[in-house]
Amino acid sequence: MTGDLAQRQPIILDCDPGHDDALAILLAAAAPSLELLAITTVAGNQTLEKTTLNARRICTVAGIHGVPIAAGADRPLAHEVRVAAEIHGESGLDGPAFGEPQVPLDARQAADLISELSRSVDGLVLVATGPLTNVATVLARDPGLAGRLRRLVLMGGAIGIGNTTPAAEFNIATDAEAARAVFESGLPITMVPLEATHHALATPEVLARIAAIGTPLAAMTVDLLAFFATTYRNVFGFDSPPVHDPCAVAWVIDETQAEFSYGRTVCDVYGVTGRPPNAEVATAVAAERFWDLMIDALASYAGEPSDPPYAAQELG
Ligand code: RIB
Ligand code: CA
């Protein structure tokens, strides 16, 4: 899919694939209004080794070539990583059976690649859908980044209840030190919290629309979401899983388009702290519009039902 290159919004996607990160990659690479310049990976949903392998796997099945994939931080700034195998499985992308990735790993460090691109590309938007460790790392090494990026759009945080502790959402809770550094950096930030992403549910009707696309990529996506649905039902009691991360990408498209408080994002909705606002906060997702964007993106990938490299599995 091609949009007018001059008009397309250049983005970098920093992620921890992760089922919903996989959809964020697929949406970002296909959206005609975006130009995905790079994918950087971070430890979060699984170890760095696994999240990086998963990014390569998704790009292989989708035929996304020419987008450098660079690995970043293998642990949060101040403590060990705690992965989310109970949600994303041991591989970080359980459900589909993947072959060997054909898309290579770029030799550059994530932070170096982000810094390098921010110097050569005007109006760059950084989309972060994992812990903010890479973003904090590049800001510490290159503080000028805050003035060069157009905006950071992050999936993370919560206005109210968290999903990792009662007070904290996973991406922020995994590395609250990094999140503090990022929110205090002066970067223009849009935060897409759980209150927004919980509107983007992969319902059985959505899975049927995706399956009807009929390509190997669509079949892989259905297998991903079927697994994600089982873990979200078992852990959180959701009937259908919320696909958090592509909501951050969709926002860009539509904008082109303590002991118990560690990791809490405090949204001073009424300005009672007297502190200047440091982020815009999305509070909802237009679910029908979101799924139209996501399914159009999935349908845009070439491929016939007979094409390798992905063979659909019998859904249990
Ligand atoms: O809390 C949801 C977020 O944590 C998503 O980005 C998901 O992929 C996990 O990283
Ligand atoms: Ca993620």
Q: Write down the domain spans for the chain.
A: 5-200+243-285
Active site residue 244: yes
Q: How far is the CA of 276 from the centre of ligand 1 (A)?
A: 27
pTM attached to this predicted model: 0.89
What mean pLDDT is predicted for residues 155-184? 96
CATH number of 5-200+243-285: 3.90.245.10
CA distance 243 to 240: 9
Higher-confidence residue of 281 and 74: namely 74
Residue closest to 243 by CA, chosen among 173, 182, 196: 196
Structure tokens at 198: 């919980």
- pLDDT for res 261: 52
Tally Cβ neighbours within 10 Å of residue 262. Answer: 15
- pLDDT for res 257: 53
For ligand 1, what atom is nearest to the CA of residue 45? 10
Q: How far is the CA of 4 from the centre of ligand 1 (A)?
A: 31
Per-residue pLDDT tens digits for 97-135: 999 999 999 999 999 999 999 999 999 999 999 999 999
Query: At residue 314, does pLDDT exceed 70?
Result: no
